[in-house]
Structure 1
């Protein structure tokens, strides 16, 4: 949630009531209504802050990671190599305030919804660039080498003489 919404829902009614009280125009109905709306706004702010502080979203060179939770933990990782699509969801209101959500789908798995992020178009571009960089990276495979044990033993034996062992 944006700060302006939380301010409008939580702090503005309380400030409005205090202003009316200072002018001597406040009554019990206005006081109760303002305090209820202010309490609702404060709880909404608290819940959104807990969610924001306990949610992590990251893009690495190998995968996309999403973690959330306070008491229990939910983690979802999508390798960039199996990323299928990234969908952008913005309402008219979220476009005005410059935030949105991304739905990220990997092959054969469930999608991940990002928390509301500021400038989701840039995040989508970062994910796209990371995906392209992962696809363009050279793939190295280690090839097993054949080790000639006889050759290695010959080298050891030529550099050091064998100790004389008595035969029984």
Structure 2
């Protein structure tokens, strides 16, 4: 949308700036013990889920998301905890890293 609206009074430039800030202010990490998600620029939100408590990671990508390799991740933990993360770059690579970390944790136990 930002590229299309760029000539229209700089509205596209504002959308590009918002997208850039959103990308730079989001951090995802998979450790041997947990999944950590931090996002926000002024207001910071952090989600930490124990690796053993994660039941599934759902990846949703639109047509544009598949073309530019971004999508939405929904991390579902035991109980009612769900952590939807929109606009994540390379969501399939994140899911693959998560599955590998979860498998290595299970094999060590």
Question: What is the aligned-residue RMSD (CA, Å)?
Answer: 1.8
Q: Structure 1: state its 5+ residue gaps.
A: 14-36, 139-168
Work out which of the two has the higher radius of gyration on C-alpha atoms and give 1 or 2. 1
Q: Structure 2: state its 5+ residue gaps.
A: none
1:79 aligns with 2:59: no
SS in 2 for 1:50: helix
User: What TM-score do the two structures reach when normalised by structure 1?
Assistant: 0.58
1:106 aligns with 2:77: yes
Cα distance in 2 for residues equivalent to 1:70 and 1:118: 17
1:12-161 correspondence runs (5 A): 13=7, 37-138=8-109
Say how many residue pairs are matched: 109
Q: Higher strand fraction: Structure 1 or Structure 2?
A: 2
The counterpart of 1:6, out of the listed 2, 6, 13, is: 2
Q: Higher helix fraction: Structure 1 or Structure 2?
A: 1
User: What TM-score do the two structures reach when normalised by structure 2?
Assistant: 0.85
SS in 2 for 1:102: strand
Q: Which has the higher contact order (CA 8 A, sep 6+)?
A: 2
Consecutive aligned runs of 4 or more in structure 1 exceeding 3 Å deviation? 5-8
